[in-house]
Amino acid sequence: MADKVIPARTSEEGKQLAFPSLQNDLIIRAAKGLPTERVPIWIMRQAGRYLPEFKELRAENEFFRVCRTPDLACEVTLQPLRRFPLDAAIIFSDILVIPQAMGLEVLMVPGKGPTFPSPLNTPEDLSRMNLTPNVDETLGYVFDALYLTRHRLEGKVPLIGFSGAPWTLMAYMIEGGGSKTWSKAKTWLYKWPEASHKLLQATTDVIVEYLIKQVHAGAQLLQLFDTFAGELSEAVFNTFALPYILQIGERVKAVHPDIPFIVFPKGAHFAMAAFESSSFDAVSLDWTMDPRKVRQQLPSKTLQGNMDPCVLYAPQAVIEAEVERMLASFGTQKYIANLGHGLHPDHPVEHVGAFIAAVQAKSRQPL
């Protein structure tokens, strides 16, 4: 992964870019439901605050400056791969770059997290947004980071691109940050359904173009995060979240049918069966879901997940036992190992390594 002279990225859509040959395609095979000799593993937030080298870089650089500077985003993306034999890299970015592209200010406030100084309060506030942004102009730095990282990976492992899902992004835009109840955002769904659908569809259109262009820039897999899916009732999810998720899957796969696409509807137990006929290749589970039951609902899909992140605070023997339990629940085929959500800032680095090593050692089998 040494620095080399890299040709400039072209913005010409559909043009086949020359990238280094892929050496480890385990996760791509698993996502497509093809046989694998062991279970592939990557970890949500594998590039992040639990790593000393990340904290050192962040001490000198504001969060969104890292996201917007391709060299820095690339460096952070590669950091965990220098420590661990992971089977994929995921580009360092944030789901909230889309609200930024649509004209809303987002700050990463120390000790508080993502903050919108001027959130959406009423439908009239939609006039402050650019509902049809130029994705190349507003998010080109992500494409540059993907392109640079794909080259600097030198084919070691595939590169994952991602986006937040419309409902999760809408919730942030209205709440102005995190929330215990998401009451402001949910109020929109009940009080202003027409305006809600307008915002959700506009966000969907941006996400579709954003993900398609991530693949053009070098992404080899995609994941759609609906982090707050479980905050909605089944009926409300089916009205305001699921249709847009399915639309994103259909539209992206229509352009890039060979790129594996993972969806993560966190907490939405009631929604699992809906993804069996979807365009997504894989469904990621959080730690509250039973993989055996989900396998019955999604027989044609690859599953991903779902260890409780808090297991990584336990001793190595406990981590290894939980990995064995997880593998027994999922099986070792059509499966990508991961956590049920992201790594925490205070996770011990050596315990992350123990998790990865246990999955790789205990899931190996002859083809």
Enzyme catalytic residues: 45, 49, 58, 94, 172
Produce one character per residue of 172-204: b if its CB has 16 or more CB atoms within 10 Å, e if not: bbbbbbebeebeebbebbeeeeebbeebbebbb
Cα–Cα dist 310/305, whole Å: 14
DSSP assignments along 174-197, one per residue:
HHSS--SS-HHHHHHHHH-HHHHH
Cα–Cα dist 270/277, whole Å: 15
Contacts of 176-182 with CB under 8 Å at 24 or more apart are 176/115, 176/116, 176/117, 176/119, 177/112, 177/113, 177/114, 177/115, 177/116, 177/119, 178/113, 178/114, 182/228, 182/231
> Residue 316: enclosing H or E segment and its boundaries?
helix 316-330
The candidate with the shortest Cα–Cα distance to 27, out of 46, 49, 7, is: 46
Which runs of consecutive H residues, i.e. helices, occur in 135-266? 135-152, 166-175, 183-191, 193-217, 234-240, 242-255
Cα–Cα dist 339/312, whole Å: 10
Cα–Cα dist 352/84, whole Å: 9
Phi/psi at 306 (5° precision): -145, 30
Cα–Cα dist 282/263, whole Å: 6
**Angle at which helices 135-152 and 70-83 cross, to 10°:** 40
